[in-house]
Amino acid sequence: MEIPRKVAKFRFHIVAALILSLILFSLLLLAPKFLSLLAFFWPLLLSTALFLLAVLLFTNTSLPLPDKAAEGLLNYVAGHPDHHLDAD
């Protein structure tokens, strides 16, 4: 009678482990294989990688030019104009 009492103490752990193992087993059986996903999405993954590489190259090679007109436009859009233009 000692063993069933100890097993009953861990019944929630046993049930949780069984449910987790059933979920993992069903995912392994029902989910598509990784290689089939890779074979389907390789153009998307490749184009995304090339785009990110191009972004990294352009951000590291081009220097920002100090442009007062663009800075004024950005300040105006942000709602912080340096000075107001008076219409005569």
Answer yes or no: do 42 and 74 share one domain. yes
CA 57 to chain centre: 21
Answer yes or no: do 55 and 76 share one domain. yes
Q: What is the pTM of this model?
A: 0.42
Amino acid at 16: A
Answer yes or no: do 51 and 76 share one domain. yes
Number of structural domains (the chain) is: 2
Residue 86 forms part of a structural domain:
no
Residue 87 forms part of a structural domain:
no
Domain containing residue 22: 1-31
Answer yes or no: do 4 and 42 share one domain. no
Answer yes or no: do 18 and 43 share one domain. no
**Residue pair 57/51 in contact by the 8 Å Cβ criterion:** no
What are the tens digits of pLDDT across the range 16-73? 999 999 999 988 888 888 888 889 999 999 999 999 999 999 888 867 666 777 777 7
